[in-house]
A = this chain, B = another copy of it.
């Protein structure tokens, strides 16, 4: 999947990301990946459910991947952060 089909979920309001995903679908993409790390994971799940239930009703989950990313932390210690990739397709 091309990088431009990926929406990274951060700390903005949920509907900002919903709009971004819906725009991808309406722009002709049939596959969108929603990515998030740490506490933004809950928001990523909210975004994909809102897209599916309210906007792109024929979108379905193609795959959900859960991983751990190692981020270089402060004072030399590494931090393990969980991440999720939600693949929506229609």
List chain A positions with a Cβ less than 8 A from chain B: 38-42, 45-46, 48-49, 53, 61, 64, 66-68, 80, 82, 84, 86
Contact = CB atoms under 8 A, between A and B. Distances in A.
Contacts of A86: 66
B41 A45 contact: yes
A46 B68 CA distance: 8
A61 to B, nearest CB: 6
Contacts of A68: 49, 53
Given A39-B39, A64-B66, 9 more contacts: A38-B42, A39-B42, A41-B45, A45-B82, A49-B66, A49-B68, A49-B80, A49-B82, A53-B80
